[in-house]
Amino acid sequence: MKKRFMTHALGMVAASALVFTGGIAQAKDSITIAVPSFLTGGAAGPFGIPAMNGAKMVADAINKGTLPAPYNTKGFGGASATLIELDEGGGATKQVAEYRNLVEKRNVDAIVGYISSGNCQALAPIAEELKQFTIFATCGTPRIFEEAPRKYVFRTMGHATSDNVAAAMYVKEKFPDMKGYTGINQNYAWGQDSWRDFDLTLKQIMPNSKASEKTQFPKIFAGQYGSEISAMSLDKADLIHTSFWGGDLEAFIFQGAARGLFKKKIGVMTVGGTAAYRLGKKLPDGLVLGARGPYGILVKDRKSVLNQWFVNTYKNIYGIYPSGPAYQYGQAILAAKIAYDKAGSDASNEQLADALRGITFESFSTTIEMKLGGGHQAATENGYGITKYDSDEGENVVTDVKFYPASCVLPPDGIDSVDWINGGMKGAKC
């Protein structure tokens, strides 16, 4: 009797193990990826919609298996992805609530996106709490990985320190006689961090230049900058720094150009690349233009197979060249494919994080090294150029382009950006 019971029990265990093993081995046919971006409001047209377009275009090609090699295998670990398009507007409190809903009620497999630094700063600890695999596509504040270690959160592009150290270095090279500078930046994490890093870097590399006491921090999406432009016009500073983006950037360019601001002052725009294709002749010549890395008008290797596919496909679908946000969201979706291809379509959040952590991969515009933030933060080169309208081609171009390697404009892993800059940027390899 005892022997028969043990045999029966062992059979049940074996059968259970077989079912369990079969469940683990079975791959998913489909996954769901939530993609938040600004789809309404002033940030939508210049930034959020191109970003979403880039994500959709790349996801569609992955589902069909039509990306160039080495990404020409179909699907995300073989699974087809459905994108949930979400509006990032409404502020951090709304986004936190929506994020919880995505994870706890809608059971999404991955979350890829976000533009606003304020939103990302609020969401990073929530993602860790919920243990949800999340790729931030764009948001730039360095605080995401400097304030706390992350296990489930990644960012597949460089952060604001890179943008502003590179801008300061470019200013030193091109305008060595610059004596004073001021700035206008949005009054939240992104604008504050951008101005801080630009100012601190110039204090290190151009100590004879002086920051204005009248730097401007208007509210994000304010849209009207008459009083700020008046103050900057009267300021003795030679140069104006701004990290404005989206509708704020375009409004500032239009309003400043109408009052001759950029004829009086050197304009340095760290996210100016998003305006290059949209504004045409309305973009003033002579601006120092960045694109938050080698994206859009500042792509370094335009002849690579991946970049030619990206540009040609985007232009055929949307009728315009892809700007920085399209590249940034496209490469974040590509990173999700790489993680799923390595870990499998049935992978857990932990397995997906392990698959993406610390890797190096070729994207549409450059090589991405996930080597900062414990392998969660990307490092890439960063470049600047000077705007000029090419009347023969009927489009804006950038001249005097200079790229700075990641090792030159980003601190080593584990080093806080402010400490690194204030310490003389030790270890920088330029």
63 and 132, same domain (yes or no):
yes
Is there a domain that residue 230 lies in? yes
Q: Given this model, what pLDDT does residue 414 score?
A: 94
Is there a domain that residue 356 lies in? yes
Helices (H), 65-142: 92-104, 117-130
- pTM score, whole prediction: 0.92
* Listed range (19-23, 45-49, 111-115, 335-339) with the worst mean pLDDT: 19-23
pLDDT band at 109 (very low <50, low <70, confident <90, very high): very high
Q: Given this model, what pLDDT does residue 300 score?
A: 87
Is there a domain that residue 236 lies in? yes
Angle at Cα 82 formed by Cα 350 and Cα 41, nearest 5°?
100
410 and 320, same domain (yes or no):
no
Q: Which domain holds residue 229?
A: 161-300+381-422
Is there a domain that residue 2 lies in? no
403 and 308, same domain (yes or no):
no
Helices (H) and strands (E) in the chain, counts: 16, 15
222 and 355, same domain (yes or no):
no
pLDDT band at 27 (very low <50, low <70, confident <90, very high): confident
312 and 369, same domain (yes or no):
yes
54 and 178, same domain (yes or no):
no
Indicate if the pLDDT at residue 15 is higher than 60.
no
Tens of pLDDT, residues 344-362 = 999 999 999 999 999 999 9
Tens of pLDDT, residues 161-198 = 999 999 999 999 999 999 999 999 999 999 999 999 99
137 and 252, same domain (yes or no):
no
288 and 342, same domain (yes or no):
no
In this structure, what CATH number is given to the domain that contains residue 60?
3.40.50.2300
Is there a domain that residue 350 lies in? yes
259 and 322, same domain (yes or no):
no
Is there a domain that residue 397 lies in? yes
Tens of pLDDT, residues 188-229 = 999 999 999 999 999 999 999 999 999 999 999 999 999 999
**Which phi and psi (to 5°) does residue 198 adopt?**
-65, -50
Instruction: Determine contact, residues 38/89, Cβ cutoff 8 Å.
Output: yes
